[in-house]
Structure 1
Amino acid sequence: MLALGLALASCSSKPTYRVDAATYDAFWLWAGVPPQPGLKRAKTIYLLAGEVRRDSGRFISLRPGIPHLSVPELWLVVRVDTLDWKADTSGEILAEFNKWQAAGNRLAGVQIDFDARTRHLDRYASFLRAFRARLPQRTRLSVTGLLDWSANGDPAALQSLDLPPASGPG
């Protein structure tokens, strides 16, 4: 009987948790996902524009056209799986950024979505400093981070991710 009771208890339904999008005003959106009604109240949207893939080291757009969103703050997101970029990859991303701005979007900046290894944060920080220097002065840079960084990252390497504002042309 005890075994049967334990088996039945393990099969009981677990509580389900739902995210109520109406309680948020910032969203991260993949390319190719249809817009949802809750996005109309968004103040900030992080929109995946493209990728820099290990096999090419180049920016590859994931959008068939340039979006036009009337949101107060739009971020052009680039998913990255390598820091070994071709010499003109940063320029390709900046050209995409400029196209989005020319389409009337209010771009806040560029977000780099990269799962940097915790033991190599110093290399990631160097990469970000070089990319940041190429951005127009008023353009912000955002990055995604891993929870492991705060638990196992070298404090000096973590501090090096605190990047100064761009000093490039405005």
Structure 2
Amino acid sequence: MILASMLTMALACAAAQARSSPAPRADSCEAAWVWAGIPPGAIPQSVRTLYVYQGELVAHADGVHFTRGGPWPSAGDSRALIPVVRLRGEVEAHECVRVLESAANAWRSRGRTVPGVQLDYDAPSRRLGEYARFVREVRSNLDPALALSVTGLADWLVAARPEALDALAVAADDVVFQLYHSHHPVPRLGLYHAALARFRQPFRVGLLAGMSVPAAVRSNPRYRGSLRFIQMGVPAP
């Protein structure tokens, strides 16, 4: 997500710092998801880090298959890049690690800085503890130079067991709770703001491009910034 040894060392240091110290509290659009249909070059230069969708890793009866989607390795943009892989079904951790590292290496081979990777998975709230264990296994086998981020459903904040939420946040290097569904903010946002106030680990929030960071979230001492979902025709804030 660079063959020169000095840059490789810098990436490793950056990933280690991401795991050991809080990220800056950035309310401007400094990081954004680049999903299918949106070329990275269309994202404003004010966005410093691109979370680029790579495709789906899907468990089928005959095995696990990775279907590519979204932008794939290309040059022409020097911003830091985080490959994002979506999971469907019960995938083995080693398969997940293989795909994440392959995506990261593919972008690095084109000269891009890739400090981490991200998993996107809609785990049922009642099974969040199992997902946390899966994430821990992925993290333990993933290249140490890659920070591991995971997306989080807003529903987990109100329906999952607090200890499962804590376990997930500890297993990953970064958790981003998405306060939207499809192309709309989640209903009754205040419920999730209150749940975030009770959450005991550092977090970021995922917002649509047109949404602002709520004051109740921005003032939370564990808030570490936002990640925006850029939509065609909706300017980044």
1:91-110 matches, cutoff 5 A: 91-110=98-117
| Distance across 2 between alignment mates of 1:132 and 1:60 | 22
TM-score under structure 1 length normalisation: 0.73
Q: What is the letter of the counterpart of residue 171 of structure 2?
A: L
Structure 1 residues 81 and 150, CA gap change in structure 2 (3 angstroms): same
1:1-170 matches, cutoff 5 A: 24-35=29-40, 37-55=42-60, 56-63=63-70, 65-68=72-75, 69-71=77-79, 73-85=80-92, 88-161=95-168, 162-163=170-171
Q: What is the letter of the counterpart of residue 77 of structure 1?
A: V
Can you give the 5+ residue segments of structure 1 that lack an aligned partner in the other structure? Answer: 1-22, 166-170
1:29-73 superposed Cα distances (whole Å, 9 cap, x missing partner): 1133234655222111110011112335232222574133311x3
Instruction: Compute the displacement of 1:155 (Å).
Output: 1.2
Structure 1 residues 28 and 63, CA gap change in structure 2 (3 angstroms): closer
Percent identity of paired positions between Structure 1 and Structure 2? 33
1:117-167 superposed Cα distances (whole Å, 9 cap, x missing partner): 1110111011111111221112101111111111121111111111266xx
| Distance across 2 between alignment mates of 1:114 and 1:45 | 19
Aligned residues: 142
Structure 1 residues 27 and 164, CA gap change in structure 2 (3 angstroms): closer
- Structure with bigger strand share is 2
| Distance across 1 between alignment mates of 2:122 and 2:96 | 19
Instruction: Name the SS for the 2:83 alignment partner.
Output: strand
Which structure would you say has the larger RCO, counting Cα contacts within 8 Å and 6 or more residues apart?
A: 2
Q: What is the letter of the counterpart of residue 82 of structure 1?
A: G
1:7-34 superposed Cα distances (whole Å, 9 cap, x missing partner): xxxxxxxxxxxxxxxx522211113323
Asked if structure 2 preserves the Cα contact closer than 8 Å seen for 1:58 and 1:86, the reply is no
| Distance across 2 between alignment mates of 1:81 and 1:25 | 28
Structure 1 residues 130 and 109, CA gap change in structure 2 (3 angstroms): same
| Distance across 1 between alignment mates of 2:94 and 2:148 | 19
| Distance across 1 between alignment mates of 2:100 and 2:43 | 29
Structure 1 residues 94 and 158, CA gap change in structure 2 (3 angstroms): same
Asked if structure 2 preserves the Cα contact closer than 8 Å seen for 1:58 and 1:89, the reply is no
1:83-119 superposed Cα distances (whole Å, 9 cap, x missing partner): 3248545313312211211211111211101111111
Larger Rg: 1
